[in-house]
Amino acid sequence: MSSLSVHQCIKLLHNNLEIEPELMYCAIKELISGSTSDILISSFLTAFHPDKLNSNLIRVAIKALREEAIPIPFNQNVMDMVGTGGDGLNTFNVTTASSIIVSASGQTFIKHGSRSSSSKCGAADILEAAGCKLNLTPEQSLKILNQTNYCFIFGPIYHPAWKYVSTIRKELGIRTIFNVVGPLISPLNCIGYRIIGVYNYKFGKIFAEVLIDLGVKRAAIIHAHDGMDEISCYEKTHIWFVDNNQIDEFDLSPEDFGLPRHDLSSIRGSTPDQNYETLLRIFNGENLAQTDFVLMNSAFALVVCEKAKNWKEGIQLAKDIIQSGKAKQLLEKYSKLSQTISDNPVIYPLIPSINNSHPPYVKICGIRDIESALCVANNGGDMLGLIFAANSKRKITLEQAKLIVTEVHSCQHRPLIVGVFANQTVEEINDIVKKVEIDYIQLHGNEGFDIVTKLIKPVIRSIPVIPNETTAEQILNILNQEKQAGWRIAAVLLDTKLPQSNNNDGGTGQTFDWSIAATIGLEYPIILAGGLNPDNVQSAVRIANPWAVDVASGVEKDKNSVEKDHEKIRQFIANVKLSH
Q: Is residue 255 in some structural domain?
A: yes
- Do residues 205 and 293 both lie within one domain? yes
**Whether 223 contacts 235, CB under 8 Å:** no
- Do residues 161 and 17 both lie within one domain? no
CB burial class (10 A; 0-12, 13-18, 19+) of residue 292?
buried
Task: Provide the greatest CA pair distance for the chain.
Answer: 79
* H-only helix segments in 69-162: 94-104, 123-129, 138-148, 155-158
Q: Is residue 334 in some structural domain?
A: yes
- Do residues 275 and 415 both lie within one domain? no
* DSSP-assigned letter for residue 262: -
Q: Is residue 468 in some structural domain?
A: yes
Residue-by-residue DSSP string for 378-407: HTT--EEEEE--TT-TTB--HHHHHHHHHH
Which residue of the set 495, 505, 550, 565 is catalytic? 495
| Distance between CA atoms of residues 127 and 4, nearest Å | 40
Distance of CA 418 to the CA centre of its chain: 19
In 3D space, the residue among 546, 104, 523 whose CA is nearest the CA of residue 326 turns out to be: 104
Query: Which amino acid is residue 381, in one-letter code?
Result: G
- Residue 320 is a catalytic residue: no
HEC states along 457-517?
CCEEEEEEECCCCCCHHHHHHHHHHHHHCCCCEEEEEEEECCCCCCCCCCCCCCCCCHHHH
- Do residues 15 and 75 both lie within one domain? no
Q: Is residue 353 in some structural domain?
A: no
* Nearest-5° Cα angle at 315, 314 to 316: 90
CATH of the domain at 101: 3.40.1030.10
| Distance between CA atoms of residues 110 and 322, nearest Å | 20
- Do residues 88 and 26 both lie within one domain? no
Q: pLDDT of 48-57, one tens digit each?
A: 998 899 989 9
| pLDDT tens digit at each of 580 positions of the chain | 567 899 999 999 999 999 999 999 999 999 988 788 989 999 999 999 988 999 899 999 998 888 888 777 665 678 999 887 655 677 889 999 999 999 999 999 999 988 875 567 888 899 999 999 887 877 788 889 988 999 999 888 888 778 788 888 878 888 889 888 888 888 876 688 999 999 889 999 999 999 998 888 899 999 999 889 999 999 999 999 999 999 999 999 999 999 999 998 898 888 899 999 999 999 999 999 999 999 999 999 999 999 999 999 999 999 999 999 999 999 999 999 998 876 543 333 455 655 555 678 899 999 999 999 999 988 889 899 999 999 899 999 999 999 999 988 877 677 889 999 999 999 999 999 999 989 899 998 888 767 877 888 888 999 999 998 999 999 999 888 877 776 668 889 999 987 766 655 555 678 999 999 999 988 888 999 999 999 999 999 999 999 999 999 999 998 888 999 999 999 999 999 887 6
pTM of the full predicted structure? 0.61
- Do residues 32 and 173 both lie within one domain? no
- Do residues 83 and 139 both lie within one domain? yes
Which residue of the set 132, 233, 365, 375 is catalytic? 365
Which residue segment(s) compose the domain that 299 sits in?
A: 61-343
- Do residues 400 and 496 both lie within one domain? yes
Q: Is residue 356 in some structural domain?
A: no
Q: Is residue 349 in some structural domain?
A: no
| Distance between CA atoms of residues 365 and 529, nearest Å | 10
Distance of CA 563 to the CA centre of its chain: 37
Domain count along the chain:
3
- Do residues 203 and 323 both lie within one domain? yes
| Distance between CA atoms of residues 441 and 417, nearest Å | 9
- Do residues 491 and 528 both lie within one domain? yes
| Distance between CA atoms of residues 464 and 300, nearest Å | 48
Q: Coil, helix or strand for 433?
A: helix
CATH of the domain at 381: 3.20.20.70
For the CA atoms of 165, 171, 174, 175, the dihedral, rounded to the nearest 10 degrees, stands at: 20
- Residue 495 is a catalytic residue: yes
| Distance between CA atoms of residues 503 and 331, nearest Å | 49
Strand partners, 386: 419
Phi, psi of 505 (to 5 degrees): -60, -35
**Whether 434 contacts 418, CB under 8 Å:** no
* Nearest-5° Cα angle at 310, 307 to 313: 75
Q: Is residue 368 in some structural domain?
A: yes
- Sheet architecture: strand order including 78-83: 150-154, 109-113, 78-83, 191-197, 218-224, 237-243, 246-252
Q: Is residue 137 in some structural domain?
A: yes
| Distance between CA atoms of residues 61 and 66, nearest Å | 8
- Do residues 241 and 310 both lie within one domain? yes
Last residue of one domain, picked from the residues 287, 317, 343: 343
Last residue of one domain, picked from the residues 343, 377, 410: 343
Phi, psi of 568 (to 5 degrees): -65, -40
- Do residues 463 and 572 both lie within one domain? yes
